[in-house]
Amino acid sequence: MTFSKISLLSKLFLGVTAILFFCSLLFPMWQIDLDAPQYPEGLVLKLHAHKIGGDVEIINGLNHYIGMKTLHTENFVEFKILPYIIGFFGIVSLLMVFFSNKKCVIALFVSFLLFGVLAGLDFYRWNYDYGHDLDPHAAIQVPGMAYQPPLIGYKQLLNFGAYSIPDTGGWMLFAAGLLLLMVIIKETNLINRFRKPATAGTVALFASLIMFSCNTTEPKPIKLNSDSCEFCKMTISNGKFGAEVITQKGRHYKFDDMSCMGQYVKANTQVKYSSFYVNDYLHDNTLIPAENSFYLKGGDISSPMRGNIAAFSTQKEANEYKQKLNADTKSWAEIFNAY
């Protein structure tokens, strides 16, 4: 039997791919985090290839009050067949190391891609059914309200914030698929089929898109006279003193005063924060990175909640307004640690 040989590097990638498939079975594939004031440390639902884990009993208790079905591993046929499907992909990847057939590698990748699409559709259907098929006799009923968690990303469900994202096992599957794609690109000389100038432009564009899509630390503009402060609940109306924090999960919290932001962060120490932004005092409703800003406090500065802190994008601007506002110079560390 004649096989279309593949390179040693591609064989190495296939070996790593097989390991990733097998190891993914040892870790959760997906997780749904639930945050609410009554659960400051949050609740989490862990979806493994063969079971549901995490704070299942607590979540089932909460679901009972709003009429959602309780979650039990045995109710899902997916948990019975998913380990075998992933194991199959791992075995085939390993066989490809010894039987170097390019067409089989392509077929494996296409099959895995199709599996990913079907798994996503099934997960969406599962979320939809559980979020919409509610008990009409539930203790808590909100007309027109559904409780479907997001397929991926963040969604507010009553007083709970639901955040859905791949877990360790899921990222391993993603890496396995990426390695398979790299093998196909290498063995089919896909890149070399394009002219170099076009290829360079395509690569640059692709890299830019990746950077843009992965940039989760950009602030969301504050809508004056519409958005409310997360801490004091007042409507944000002054574009000189607002602030915003972004958590590592990608959630944005807006404030009408830096003092509100500081007090909120102090009261929610269990939350992991990614970045902080403050309004530029000289440019109405313009957010700038808090760590790189320059600050004045006190004097004639009067902010909505009496934090009385003004932020500037340059040291020169802060120095120019120090005497005008009769204020004291402060660093970000001093501002942040004051709360």
Domain-wise residue ranges, the chain: 8-214, 243-337
Is the predicted pLDDT of residue 143 greater than 60, yes or no? yes
Across 92-106, 138-152, 233-247, 270-284, least confident range: 138-152
| Distance, CA of 87 to CA of 74 (rounded, Å) | 20
> What average pLDDT does the chain have?
87
Q: Are 193 and 225 in contact (CB under 8 A)?
A: no
Of the listed ranges 159-168, 252-261, 308-317, the one predicted with least confidence: 159-168
Report the alpha-carbon distance of residue 60 to residue 155 in Å, rounded. 19
pLDDT at 215 (0 to 100)? 47
Give the pLDDT confidence score for residue 2 in this predicted structure: 39
Q: What mean pLDDT is predicted for residues 158-178?
A: 91
Rounded CA gap, 100 and 63, in Å? 51
Tell me how far apart the alpha carbons of residues 235 and 281 are, in angstroms, rounded to a whole number.
Answer: 19
Do strands 294-297 and 309-312 pair parallel, antiparallel, or not at all (unpaired)? antiparallel
pLDDT of residue 52: 94
Looking at residue 4, what is its pLDDT? 56
* Number of residues that this document lists for the chain: 339
| pLDDT-derived band at 62, boundaries 50, 70, 90 | confident
What pairing do the DSSP bridges indicate for beta strands 252-255 and 243-247?
A: antiparallel
As given in the structure block, the two tokens for residue 22 are 């097998």
- The two three-digit tokens of residue 29, written as one number: 């594939």
Q: What percent of the chain has pLDDT over 90?
A: 57
Q: pLDDT band for position 194 (50/70/90)? A: low
Residue 29 binned pLDDT confidence (cut-offs 50, 70, 90): very high
Is the pLDDT assigned to residue 117 strictly greater than 60?
A: yes
144-166 b/e (C-beta count within 10 Å ≥ 16 → b): eeebbbbeeebbebeebbbbbbb
Gap between the Cα atoms of 22 and 11, Å rounded: 17
CA 239 to chain centre: 28
Q: For residues 144-167, give the mean pLDDT.
A: 85
- The residue that leads in pLDDT, 198 or 135, is 135
| pLDDT at res. 210 | 45
- Contact indicator for 17, 93 with CB cutoff of 8 Å: yes
Q: With a cut of 90, say whether residue 320 has pLDDT above it.
A: yes
- Its pTM surpasses 0.85: no
C-alpha 324/C-alpha 291 separation (Å) is 24
153: its two tokens: 């990303």
Look at residue 191 in the predicted model and tell me its pLDDT: 63
Contact 304, 256 (CB under 8 A): yes
29-33, 40-44, 275-279, 332-336: which range is least confident on average?
A: 40-44
What distances in angstroms separate CA 197 from CA 117, 186, 192, 193, 249, one per listed residue? 33, 19, 11, 12, 38
Alpha helix stretches (DSSP H) within 276-328: 315-324
Q: What average pLDDT does this structure show over 103-113?
A: 93
Strand partners, 228: 235
Give the model's confidence band at 157: pLDDT under 50 very low, under 70 low, under 90 confident, else very high.
confident
Mean pLDDT of 244-266: 89
> Is residue 5 within 8 Å of residue 88, measured between CB atoms?
no
What tokens appear for 40 in the block?
């400051």
Q: Which two tokens stand for residue 132?
A: 């919409």
